[in-house]
Structure 1
Amino acid sequence: MRNSIKVFAPATVANVVCGYDVLGFAVNAPGDEVVMRLTETKGIIISKITGDGGKLPLSPEKNTVSASVQHYLNHIGKPDFGLDIELHKKMPIGSGLGSSSASTVAGLFAVNSLFDNLLTNQELVPFAMKGEELACGYGHADNVAPALMGGFVLIRSYEPLDIISLPHPEDMHAAIVYPEVDVPTKDARQMIRSKVLLKDAVTQWGNVAGLVSGLFMKDYDLIGRSMTDVLVEPTRAILIPDFYVLRQLALGAGAIGFGISGSGPSVFALTKDAETANKITEKLQSHLKGLAINSLSFVSEVNKKGPVILD
């Protein structure tokens, strides 16, 4: 058993427009890093957090990384096992890119690796969902599942948990822009209406089925015309400056489809290549700059690996 480990876990795009809480995919950048060391003292301590601007708790009971790792240790029968955890945030908090998920997944992958991979990455998902529950009040899996498993995933069911890896076109890229405005995940979730019209539900079901079919068939046109959300996006778009202008700019520059990443404020476009993705991020950032809004951009293929050991 090794004494220490350093792990990177990727950011994720959840929902993928029409798949609220059931679809997500991982990207190569950004992401978070966790350094974990064995200690002789019983229990978990978080000795350092960097890159968070002092926002995240050092208390093991309140931090998503340590809380989910504790659930894992309880499960394997080592509740008092001694661990020292460092969390290095390499991505913005509250960006809609699965910030809490990346941290939690890095921690779980690290502790599971220290114990010689007692569980598969997919079997770690329920423990990661505990971290999401602590972060935003609801243990959804559309960030943690792709962060752990890589690629595109479908959460077919939550009770019982049923997660399916989906194929995708090999040359597909994501163009992501994070406008630096505040959209707390809890607030964004509370805005969503609890009842929907049957005709809207039928439209959404068709789009989710179309998107999944398009991924299997590697049919960009079908993927694009399925990336429509009539249930959640109309509400969340209000929180994102000039969302519909940004969408038109992206589609005009060659995007297959465009939408909100997770609860926002990050937006993303799917493209057929890196060149188009870079062109889209430039156009979106230029428009946001004209609104006096700073932004960050990321261009990435779909991440197929999930978390990786760095040392």
Structure 2
Amino acid sequence: MLPNNQQVTTMMNITGAGAVAYPSATVANVVCGFDILGFALNEPCDELAVYLSDEPGVHIINNDDYDLPTEAEKNVSGAALLALLDETPDVKGLTLVSKKIIKPGSGIGSSAASAAGAVVAANHLLDNRFSKDDLVRFAMFGEKVASGVKHADNIAPCIFGGVTLIRSIHPLDIVSIEAPPLHVTVVHPQIEVRTADARQILRQNVLLRDAIRQWGNIAGLVAGFIKGDYDLIGRSLEDVIIEPVRSILIPGFDEVKKLSKEAGALGGGISGSGPSIFMLSKDAETAKQVSLAMEQVYTRIGIDFHTHVTSINTEGVRVRSVEKL
């Protein structure tokens, strides 16, 4: 994509070398862990380059076809970088060149990747002066732009890698959780489920018996990850509060879940607020068979879809230095 005149002007204000980050897609909620559990995927990944600029503020160049806002306050990456700049008085401005690979609205952490990748790249330019917790805090401003809520269950695994538990938002308390090798199959039916809409339909009150069952599943899932107990992981991938409500927004959900388990998946559910559905498997071959089962459902229904067969990314955002544009 060739830059337009405004982009050329923005590029001319770049004052030095930059950093390119490759933030990956993520799965949030992980069935029973609404707003508190998430894990990173090895693919797909976005590509975001950040450069120091002599123009105050954050300047954005979109190098894709998604037509995302270029006003920093209205852009997920821009809001995150503005939060970082507020605590970086020695930096005048930043220029971001963004290439989105993770489709916005897919339910696999597209907005989180934008926010996380931007602040990780900026931090690399600043000789890593900020901690990972700080970067999550900055990136959460981007999530607020995307959904109206500062949640971290996509941001944290994207930055930290692996499986993360958000024990608390105020104060921010992120716990990295060891997990055994797990393969992930994701199907993204080409329908739209807005995060704000998916939050609006949730019940504000739940029965105590449902809460107790949910707490048991969350504890069991975390214990299963730590112990490397695949059977316990599978038994704990149950959501009695959120999934029964949100799944009505996703055609074919129940059949995808049923056929995926029959194909050997440990279990799974809605990725984030949807419409993507994820399934966990013990090995790559099973994950491929699960993909075929998912594809069968949406081919029959007549809904276009994309699938990803991947694994858990334990590294977090990859970043490298680049020369000035």
TM range (shorter): over 0.9
In the superposition, the TM-score normalised over structure 1's length comes to 0.96
Q: Within the alignment, does 1:37 sit opposite 2:51 as a pair?
A: yes
**2:252 touches 2:297 (CA, 8 Å); kept in 1?**
no
**Match among 181, 186, 196 for residue 186 of structure 1:** 196
3-state SS of paired residue (1:3) = strand
Correspondence for 2:60: 46
> In structure 2, how many angstroms separate the alpha carbons of the residues matched to 1:84 and 1:155?
30
Q: Which amino acid aligns with 1:188?
A: A
1:27 shift after superposition: 0.2
Q: Is the 8 A contact 2:42 2:312 kept in 1?
A: yes
Structure 2 equivalent of residue 139 of structure 1:
150
Name the structure 1 match of 2:5: none
Could you list the runs of 4 or more consecutive aligned residues of structure 1 that deviate by over 6 angstroms after TM superposition? none
1:147, distance to aligned residue in structure 2 (A): 0.3
In 2, Cα distance between equivalents of 1:229 and 1:47: 40
The answer to whether the Cα contact below 8 Å between 1:129 and 1:144 also exists between their aligned partners in 2 is yes
Residue 117 of structure 1 corresponds to which residue in structure 2?
A: 128
Cα shift readout 1:187-224 (whole Å, capped 9, x = no counterpart): 00111111101010000000000000000110000000
For the Cα contact (< 8 Å) 2:133–2:172, is it kept in 1? no
Match of 1:65 in 2: 77
What is the alpha-carbon distance in structure 1 between the residues aligned to residue 234 and residue 87 of structure 2?
Answer: 42
Question: C-alpha displacement at 1:136, in angstroms?
Answer: 0.2
Residue 18 of structure 2 aligns with an amino acid whose one-letter code is: S
Of residues 13, 17, 28, the one that matches 1:3 is: 17
Cα distance in structure 2, aligned partners of 1:2 and 1:143: 31
Query: How far 1:2 moved relative to its partner?
Result: 5.8
The letter for the 1-side match of 2:92 is: F
**1:83: Cα distance to partner?**
1.6
RMSD of aligned alpha carbons: 1.3
Query: Which of 266, 284, 288 in structure 2 is aligned with 1:256?
Result: 266
SS in 2 for 1:119: coil
Partner of 1:200: 210
C-alpha distance in structure 1 between counterparts of 2:18 and 2:169, whole Å:
34
Task: Give unmatched runs, 5+ long, in structure 1.
Answer: none
Tell me which residue corresponds to 2:8. none
Within 1, Cα distance between the matches of 2:65 and 2:42? 19
Matched, 1:129 2:143: no
Give deviations 1:70-94, integer Å, cap 9, x for gaps: 111111224x622211111001110
The residue aligned with 1:169 is 180
Between the aligned partners of 1:127 and 1:258, the Cα distance in structure 2 is 30
Question: Residues 115-158 of structure 1: CA distance to partner in whole angstroms, max 9, x if unpaired?
Answer: 00001223211111111011100000000000000000001112
SS of 1:50's equivalent? coil
1:85 maps to 96
Whole-angstrom distance in 1 between the partners of 2:202 and 2:193: 14
Structure 1 CA distance for aligned equivalents of residues 147 and 253 of structure 2 = 24
Q: How does 1:89-100 map to 2 (within 5 A)?
A: 89-100=100-111
Is the contact made by 1:26 and 1:306 (CA closer than 8 Å) also made in structure 2? yes
**What do residues 261-282 of structure 1 show as CA deviations (whole Å, max 9, x unaligned)?**
0000000100001111111112
Helix, strand or coil at the partner of 2:197 = helix
Structure 2 unaligned blocks of 5 or more? 1-14
Q: What letter matches 2:190 in structure 1?
A: E
Distance 1:155 1:249 in 2: 31
Provide, for residues 18-77 of structure 1, a one-character-per-residue CA deviation record: whole Å limited to 9, x for no partner. Answer: 00000000001112111112222222111234141x2x1111111010111111111122
**Does the 8 A contact of 2:51 with 2:122 survive in 1?**
no
Q: Secondary structure at the match of 2:138?
A: helix
The 3-state SS of whatever aligns with 1:61 is: helix
